[in-house]
Amino acid sequence: MTHLWVRAEQRPNEDRVGLTPEGAKALLSGGIKVTVEESSVRAIPLQGYIDAGCEIAAENSWPSAPADAIIFGLKELPEDGTPLPHRHIMFGHAFKGQHSGKALLDRFAAGGGTLYDLEYLVDEAGRRVAAFGYWAGYAGAAVTLKSWCAQQRGEICGPVGVYPGKDALLAELSAELKAVQADVPSAIVIGALGRVGTGAADLCEAMGITVTKWDMAETASGGPFPQILQHDLFLNCIFARPGTPVFVPAEALSAARRLTAIGDVACDPDSDYNPVPIYNQATSWEAPALRVASDPVMDVMAIDNLPSMLPVESSQDYAGQLLPSLLTLTDLKTGVWGRAEAKFREFVPA
């Protein structure tokens, strides 16, 4: 019997999960055994999984799971160098030359396990079957707006954290905007037709912000794009790749501009194709904004796990997208799982 083992997340500020109790019940009905670890941080309570009929295991006990179990988590494993003999489903960040990714692949090679990277679960046309993009855009726009509000107070954005839901986030933002007693800022979103950009635009519109929405047609010229500098907020929602234009060049920092807060939701500062090459490091929950200019100010928000700020909504959304694929775990050699393993075998031959 196929056995899915849902592990507790061990990365700080990670409360999400890729399977809801409703999804677990569907898997059980489909003949898949489901074990769920206890978790001190998971946003969805354990009782729902118990009620669904899942077996429960101790937190972080996955290394001793049965050899045939498929270990399912979202974010990275502890970097302890131990061999990995199991099959794992997670975001590995291992196939783009990342240093930590090479170390992870070495662990799979040493243990004989397999990585089914969530980023590479794709359909026949190469489109990802599940993504957190919408809530990344939503939360990214929120933190960028918080950065702008902090600027109005003569400050830089302070720490951010987890919200019980989007209503709590919107209420907090409304209070901040009201307190600064400034005109509502304007925003421009690039990648507005995608999942990430849609989330960013929806947050802005929920706050009464006028949004200029650009996508491929508006950026096809390759730049420069002086219009971006005439907005208060700029939200980059497209991933860096060869041919991606530069949206905010270094000379923009000293140019006449209205722009003071950038949300690089795609957050790829190490890429050679970074479309916002005015910063070179990700920001964090503790220090969300990086000040890259002071006269006038310019702050960049580039947090790499934004959906974790809204773990309930983002978990439910993502789990719903992923469930149809999880229901096919009984056949790992075809479909999304076969394609994901083929990608893994490019780096770790059988």
Q: Considering only CA atoms, which of 287, 69, 301, 311 is closest in space to residue 166?
A: 311
**9 contacts 308 by C-beta, under 8 angstroms:** no
Q: 193 exposed, middle or buried (CB, 10 Å; 0-12, 13-18, 19+)?
A: middle
Q: Which of 75, 86, 166, 231 is catalytic?
A: 75
Concerning whether 166 is annotated as a catalytic residue, the answer is no
Q: Which two tokens stand for residue 249?
A: 């060049």
CA–CA gap between residue 143 and residue 157 (Å, rounded): 8
Going across the sheet that includes 233-236, the strands are 211-214, 187-190, 233-236, 261-264, 297-301, 289-294
Q: Which two tokens stand for residue 326?
A: 């999880």
Q: 281 exposed, middle or buried (CB, 10 Å; 0-12, 13-18, 19+)?
A: exposed
Concerning whether 3 is annotated as a catalytic residue, the answer is no
Question: Is 337 in a helix, a strand, or coil?
Answer: helix
**6 contacts 20 by C-beta, under 8 angstroms:** no
For 286, residues 6+ apart whose C-beta sits below 8 A from its C-beta are 159
Question: Is 26 in a helix, a strand, or coil?
Answer: helix
Q: Which of 3, 25, 33, 93 is catalytic?
A: 93
Active site residues: 75, 93
